[in-house]
Copies of this chain bind each other. A is one copy, B any other.
Amino acid sequence: MLAIGTLSQRTGVKVPTIRYYEEIGLLAPPGRSAGGQRRYGADDVARLRFIRHARDLGFGLEAIRSLLDLAAHPDRFCAEANALAMAQLRDVQARVARLRRLEGELQRIVAACDGGHPAAECGVLDALADHDGCTGPH
């Protein structure tokens, strides 16, 4: 049986975060030692690693809850898991597209000023004040 700190080390999830996951019902309340401390088993390690991995991939906790639910019922069909992963992929792709536009605007803005002027002539401040100078929408 593992203490919470050991579970934390084995999964890379911080101790308060583990307790938070328990609080919101993502992790089942574990057994306790005689003195009342949490004790975890191998199942908890696997479950928490799953959560960690999905979080790293940008899934929200509600999506993760659905995925875990699905994984707990191996006889159900996994169309939902597929749909969740596809939604996540589309979300990531949309964010990349948006960030790349921002990157372009920021490069333009940074190039407008080398930092050596009085603020009155600063290209950065001008660019922020004037959206019309932007190449596209954001």
Contact = CB atoms under 8 A, between A and B. Distances in A.
B106 A50 contact: no
Contacts of A54: 128
Interface of A: 46, 49-50, 52-54, 56-58, 67, 70-71, 73-86, 88-89, 92-93, 95-96, 99-100, 102-103, 105-107, 109-110, 113-122, 124-125, 128-129, 131, 138
A101 to B, nearest CB: 10
Contacts of A56: 102, 138
A86 B102 contact: no
A77 to B, nearest CB: 6
A13 to B, nearest CB: 13
B113 A78 contact: yes
Contacts of A131: 49, 52-53
